Structure 1
Amino acid sequence: MKMMIEGRLLCGLVALLCLSCASGPRQYAQSTDSATSGCLRNPACYTQPGDEAFLPWVDKAARAAASAGATMKLLEAADVARIEHLLVECAKEANHLVNEREYGEGKSPDDTECMRVVGYDKNGDPIRRQAELGTMKHDVAFACVRREILRLFPNNVSIEPSYVIRTGKAGNQDILKPDIVLHASGRPDQAQCIYDFKFPCLKARKSNPRSVPETQAQMTRYANLDGQCNPAIITPQFGIIRD
């Protein structure tokens, strides 16, 4: 099966490379929970170890021309605005419900509680309460997204899709897993807007969530997905924040 697919791809590339004008997105692929469902969306994929579907690494011009031939239905600006409003509401709901469940009505953790060590990871590094709360809040926020957004836009929204970016001439790969991606209908590999939920615990980070170096680096990496929107974070305090 793999040889047949690669054969078709090679024949297609001969024609595609004759096109004199082609430009497009960077070389990246989206891997899904099921390689089978991924191939149904994109017949040019093939299966790699680990049951992840990847687009073949092909010439950038050929990839651009192939993408141009695909039917791509992006979300309208009004739909993106509606989804962003719902994402903010989901962040607020998650923050409120978890804080109330863990600390009582109207209460939230202070900085000392945020930094409290609650366990250790496999490397022996401490796991702090802020990370534990962040995981809880992400779970509630994702449940909200499934309930409020996926039912409205099932073909244009994905939760935690994985992308493999080819970086540099050495063929290095960078694996990205944004929280929420808006994309062309049925095409998670054609990203439109990228978002990450952030639930700052420390007082200083609540007032300036983009000040965290790791967050800045993360947004820079997400920009490699070539979405039509600048990558954004979503916080309960400030809603959508993007450069």
Structure 2
Amino acid sequence: MARIGWLHLSAFLCISCSTTFQPGPLQAQPSRSGQLTGARSRFDQSCGPACATPVSASTGELIAPAATRTGQVLGKVVQVAEAVQGLNTLERALTGAELDLVEATLKACVAQAHADINEAYQQRDDGFRFENGKFPNDAECLKVVGFDEVGDEVSLAQELGKLKHAAAFACLKARLPPELRENFTVEPRYKPDPDVNGVALTDKGVDTLHPDFVVHGTRNATDVQCVYEIKFPCFAAHKLDPRNSRWVEAQLKAYQKLSIRCPAAVISPAGLFQLGIP
């Protein structure tokens, strides 16, 4: 069976990205921000459009086309202000209240992605519908719906999980406040780094850790604060608490090695579950 081509992901990703989302009252929790300690390697994320601005070879200044003298002065003031702001936010960890907001948004986006993709998946020309109505049963979860790039079979459970992750990530990037965007990374991959007694970022490797969502120090994805794994269980045995899976429990224990500041957590449509915490 050919890999599914009817599903236009971009058409419904924005369903999960509504900017009208208003998180409900957040329960007060102990601050887990902590202090950034230990020798850790730096990780500078892309500096965006500013990197494309021409630079004078003789002066090293940014070149603004047709800039007036006033504009140049204003530009320098802005640059200095941004530099000072950057120093002030360097290595800042999220506060307990900010983490509460992140977790509330994570739970909302995961729940909405789960519902949106299940609904969109059934809007096919062949009239396919889940027997249970809004979600697949165990037999449907095991059904082969296509093949991956190396020819391995792809089950409905795997296909839905991939689509739901993409929708959840789009939702998170749209809903989380701009001031927090330099404090989280989606799907980073880590490897041990003995030189700094910590971890380094990598793009491959069998002995690496690849969590879904990481909260970290400003612009420093290796200064891990909290780690979250997103799960969209398809089978009935795992729907209420994904920690019922030994594989998920092993994942969380491995991810816990990345941070001592808060328990590694898994988020599913049923809510947030932390390692070792009911």
Q: Is the 1:223–1:231 Cα contact (8 Å) retained in structure 2?
A: yes
Output aligned runs, 1:63-74, within 5 Å: 72-74=91-93
Q: Secondary structure at the match of 1:215?
A: helix
Matched with 1:117 is 144
Task: Assess, with a 3 A threshold, how the Cα gap between structure 1 residues 147 and 240 changes in structure 2: closer, same or farther.
Answer: farther
Change (3 A) 1:89 1:130: same
Structure 1's unaligned 5+ residue stretches are: 1-22, 41-69
Give the deviation of 1:175 after TM superposition.
1.6
Q: 1:150: Cα distance to partner?
A: 5.5
8 Å Cα contact 1:31-1:162 kept in structure 2: no
Identity of aligned residues (%): 33
Is the CA contact 1:103–1:109 (under 8 Å) kept in the aligned structure 2? no
Q: 1: CA distance between counterparts of 2:94 and 2:161?
A: 29
- Larger Rg over CA atoms: 2
Distance, in Å, in 1 between the alignment partners of 2:259 and 2:167 is 28
1:221 aligns with 2:254: yes
Q: Alpha-carbon deviation of 1:224? A: 1.6
Matched, 1:177 2:210: yes
Give, in angstroms, the shift of residue 110 of structure 1. 1.0
TM-score scaled by length of structure 1? 0.66
Match of 2:116 in 1: 97
**Which residue, out of 95, 98, 109, partners 1:79?**
98
- What do the CA deviations read for 1:33-82 (whole angstroms, capped 9, x no partner)? 86x99xx9xxxxxxxxxxxxxxxxxxxxxxxxxxxxx9531111011011
Q: Secondary structure at the match of 1:155?
A: helix
Higher relative contact order (CA closer than 8 Å, sequence separation 6+): 2
Cα RMSD, aligned residues only: 3.0
Paired with 1:102 and 1:124, the residues of 2 have a C-alpha distance of 23
Superposition deviation, residue 212 in structure 1: 1.5
* Secondary structure at the counterpart of residue 180 of structure 2: coil
Q: Structure 1 or 2: larger strand share?
A: 1
**Letter of the 2:253 counterpart:** T
Tell me, yes or no, if structure 1 residue 192 matches structure 2 residue 225. Answer: yes
CA distance in 2, matches of 1:140, 1:121: 20
Provide the residue aligned with 2:191 in structure 1.
Answer: 164
How many corresponding residue pairs? 183
Residue type at the aligned position of 1:145: L
**Structure 2: tracts of 5 or more residues without a match:** 1-36, 52-88, 124-128, 195-204
2:235 maps to: 202
Alignment of 1:236 onto 2:269: yes
CA contact (8 A) 1:166 1:174 kept: no
The 5 Å alignment of 1:38-49 reads none
- CA distance 1:234–1:137, change in 2 (3 Å): same
Give, in angstroms, the shift of residue 126 of structure 1.
2.8
Deviation sequence 1:8-50 (CA, Å, 0-9, x none): xxxxxxxxxxxxxxx837x7x687886x99xx9xxxxxxxxxx
Q: Deviations over 1:58-108 (max 9, x none)?
A: xxxxxxxxxxxx953111101101110000000011001001111369611
What amino acid sits opposite 1:103 in the alignment? Answer: Q
